[in-house]
Every structure is written in C-alpha cells, then in structure tokens.
Amino acid sequence: MPINIRDLQNYKTQGRIITALTAWDALSGAWVEASGCDLVLVGDSLAMVSLGHATTLPVSLDAMVHHTQAVGRVVHGPLLVADLPFLSYQCGCERAVAAAGRFLKETPCQAVKLEGAEPETLKVISRLVRTGIPVMGHLGLTPQSVHCLGWRRQARSAPDQERLRQKALDLQQQGCFALVLEHVPAPLASRLRRELTIPVVGIGAGPDCDGQILVTADLLGLTHHQPPFIKARLQGAELFKRELQDWCHQQRHQNQTAHPPTGDNPPTPDC
C-alpha cells in the first residue's frame, strides 16, 4: 500500500521525520522510489531542472500532467504529489478544480501542492478539499512569485514572520494536510512545527521541521544554479560530463586503432 496523507499525520505525532524528494520523469522517479522516501513531489521546479526555463512560471498544466504520468509509472511506495503550475489555480475555483482534478484522473498522484495563502487561494483550497482533492500548502519562498519576492530568504523581520505564521494557520484551517516552508529562518519553522497540527516539511528552513524536502537534482549536483541552502552530496553533472567525454574519447581512439585512416584508398566502385 502506498503511503497516504494519514500516514504523514501519524509520522508527525510519532516524531518520525518525513523524507520527501522531487522527481520529473521515470528515470528520476526510479531513483527516488529506490531511496525509500515517504513523499515524491513532481514539482514545477522541473520547468528549470528538466525543461531549461529560468523560472517555474512557463510550465503548462499539460506538461505537468505528462511528467506526473511518467513519474507515476515507477513510483509506487511513497505518497505522490503534483504541483499545480502557475495560473492553473489563480483564475477561480472552477478552473482550479478542473486543473487539480486532471492530476487525480489522469495520473496516479494522490494530492496536489499550491503556493501562497491569499484570500482567493484559501477559497480555492477549501473548495479542492471539499471536492476530495488533498492539498499541500507552500509558504516562504514561493517560486511562482519570484518576480515579486526574488530568490532571497523570506520572513526576515518580526512583522513578516507574524504574517507568515497567520497564513500557515489559515492553510491548516482550510484543510491543507501538510505545509512546505521554503527558505525561511530556522526559528520560525521550529515555532510553526510546534504550533501546527499538520506536518511542516522544510526546505532551507533549518533542521527542526517534521520533514525535509529537497529538489533531487540539487541534492545530486545536477543543476547549474545550486540554491545557497542546499549542499550537493555529489557533483553529479561534472561526473556525468566527464564519463561521457571519456567514452567519446575512447571510441575515437579505439576506432582509429581498429580502422586505420583510409587516406588515399581508391573509392569503392558503385555496384
């Protein structure tokens, strides 16, 4: 049986840390499935990691469904969650239900994640949950608002921390089953972990969270721009590039030895 949202709640109650990783296709999906993590997110970070965009904004709903289907073919144990992309849930409840519903109908994912807690977003969350679609919230650095917030650490002042705290309580109130907190001061995450009954899953939010989530490509050193709060466990991109260069070099060398240059040989006559 795959992990479900009630299991995550129980992990929080038992003090068992929740491990979460992102995946964007069947290859990365197989890696994270083998890791034994509890939750796999098909994050819209795939716009940058796998599609080469500068931000998460351009990825379409169709593309997110397509990538979630690929991940869903190989991820069977962890809870599978998909990101609702930019503008798929900001244009009214009806459109948000239709967009989120596509993930539950067309892919094996069991929940969706969306960013922010503005009054319109809270209405959408409440509607999704009443429709039977579990929702994970996301506060702090919310990349879909990068043009307003930048990539920097959020909630650095006391009033901003109080605002974020209120938003977290609102998300819980509207029925979110868990909350991602990205790039915020560790003491704030620690406080929210204790104040909220739902699991708080941190990324660049310090160690005192109910769970930790990372973009797998950052963890493996596969991306060009490493976020300041993630230390890669290996230099994956460098390793792969070196091996591929080495293979090309070897092929050329072996080929030269096996087939010496034809040089001045007369052309083969046409048959």
CB of 256 to ligand KIV, least distance (A): 45
Whether 182 is catalytic: yes
Task: Give the C-alpha separation, 214 to 162, whole Å.
Answer: 25
In the bound state with ligand KIV, the residue whose beta carbon lies nearer, of 87 and 248, is 87
Q: Which residue has the tokens 């590039």?
A: 241
- How far apart CA 125 and CA 66 sit, in angstroms, is 23
Q: Is residue 212 involved in binding ligand KIV (CB under 6 A)? A: no
Residue 97 burial by CB count (10 A; 0-12/13-18/19+): exposed, middle or buried? middle
d(CA 200, CA 232): 23
Residue 225 or 252 having the CB closest to ligand KIV: 225
* By the rule CB under 6 A, 180 interacts with ligand KIV: yes
Q: Least CB distance from residue 44 to ligand KIV, whole Å? A: 5
DSSP state of 139: E
Residues 79-138 interacting with ligand KIV (rule: CB under 6 A)? 83, 138
How many residues make contact with ligand KIV (CB under 6 A)? Answer: 12
Site for ligand KIV in 43-72 (CB under 6 A): 43-45
Q: Which of 182, 195, 238, 243 is catalytic?
A: 182
Please give the residues from 17 up to 36 whose contact with ligand KIV meets the rule CB under 6 A.
Answer: 22
Residue nearest ligand KIV, Cβ-based:
43
Q: How far is the CB of 252 from ligand KIV (least distance, A)?
A: 39
Q: Is 5 near ligand KIV (CB under 6 A)?
A: no
Structure-token match 């909630």, residue found: 155
Q: How far is CA 126 from CA 49, 80, 97, 119, 181, in A?
A: 31, 21, 11, 11, 20
Q: How far is the CB of 250 from ligand KIV (least distance, A)?
A: 36
- The whole-angstrom separation of Cα 32 and Cα 35 is 5
Burial readout 217-256 (b: 16 or more C-beta within 10 A, e: otherwise): bbbbbbbeeebebbeeeeebeeeeeeeeeeeeeeeeeeee
Q: Answer yes or no whether residue 213 interacts with ligand KIV by CB under 6 A.
A: yes
Distance of closest approach, residue 20 Cβ to ligand KIV, in angstroms: 8
User: Which residues contact ligand KIV by CB under 6 A?
Assistant: 22, 41, 43-45, 83, 138, 180, 182, 203, 213, 215
Q: Which residues are identified as catalytic?
A: 182
